[in-house]
Amino acid sequence: MNQDALKKQVGIEAARHIKNDMIVGLGTGSTVAYLIDEIARRIKEEKLTITGVSTSNATSKHAKKLGIPLKTIDEVDFVDLTIDGADEISADFQGIKGGGGALLFEKIVANYSRKYIWIVDESKLVDKIGNFPLPIEVVVYGAKQIYKILENKGYHPQFRYKKNKNFFVTDNGNFIIDLHLIDPIKDPTALGGELKKMVGVIEHGLFLNMVDTVIIGTNTGIQVLNAT
């Protein structure tokens, strides 16, 4: 099976965890797109009733087009379950997210969720995180100063650009700087703390001690790993 087929498989499988009347956090990305399609199918064919809480403009657009009712995170008291993709997951369930640039809203929605599931194909599993470029969302004003600090620290930063060579701008109007750390991150908690302390850094893509369950699409079937 190719990577896309594995993503579809886990997207469909994850939708089975959703029950009637749940408030469901909807992540962002190509794997979540399959989840959204399957939720829409269940709403139509099985009369499933849910409220979605979106993590990006792209997800909102997709969900609305398929008739999935949405509320913002401030319109709900809590989220029953959030299902999202991930870019890298270590053996001890630490993750890097933000490949699609939606890390801030993804982290906010996950933070208010009673259960948090990641859906990935098997290529996302690693021993230690750090090979995938670590995204950092930064305020536009002063972004080049942050870039210089990160460069001096030896973190190999790169501004994220769109295909047309303009800066990539997040749904919140910020820039993304990706850190090409090359080596595995020795202490993700320390790095996360260091990044958060920098003035102008809004959020980073280290999702530490957050996930409950990982659903993995493999060529030999679906694998489910529980972190808690």
Q: Which is nearer to ligand 5RP, 13 or 84 (CB)?
A: 84
Q: Which is nearer to ligand 5RP, 100 or 157 (CB)?
A: 100
Angle of CA points 182, 186, 187, to nearest 5°: 125
Q: Which of 13, 38, 88, 106 is catalytic?
A: 106
- Residue in 13, 80, 87, 178 binding ligand 5RP, rule: CB under 6 A: 87
Is 106 labeled as catalytic in the residue annotation?
A: yes
- Residue in 84, 88, 137, 203 binding ligand 5RP, rule: CB under 6 A: 84
Question: Which residue is listed with tokens 């913002």?
Answer: 72
What is the x/- site pattern for ligand 5RP, positions 177-196, by CB under 6 A? Answer: --------------------
* CA–CA gap between residue 118 and residue 86 (Å, rounded): 6
What is the nearest approach in angstroms of ligand 5RP to the Cβ of residue 69? 22
What is the x/- site pattern for ligand 5RP, positions 5-34, by CB under 6 A? Answer: ----------------------xxxxx---
Task: Count how many Cα atoms sit within 13 Å of the Cα of residue 47 in the half-sphere of its side chain.
Answer: 0
- Residue in 25, 52, 101, 157 binding ligand 5RP, rule: CB under 6 A: 101
Chain center to CA of 6: 17
Q: Which is nearer to ligand 5RP, 101 or 130 (CB)?
A: 101
Residue 33 · residue 63 · CB < 8 Å: no
**What's the per-residue H, E or C state across 147-169?**
HHHHHHCCCCEEECECCCCCECE
Does residue number 82 form part of the binding site for ligand 5RP (CB under 6 A)?
A: no
Residue 122 · residue 2 · CB < 8 Å: no
Task: Count how many Cα atoms sit within 13 Å of the Cα of residue 69 in the half-sphere of its side chain.
Answer: 12
- Residue in 53, 81, 89, 103 binding ligand 5RP, rule: CB under 6 A: 103
What is the nearest approach in angstroms of ligand 5RP to the Cβ of residue 189? 19
Fill in the amino acid letter for 59: T
Task: For residue 95, give the nearest of 73, 112, 78, 116 by alpha carbon.
Answer: 116
Catalytic residues: 106
Residues that bind ligand 5RP (CB under 6 A): 27-31, 84-87, 97-103, 106
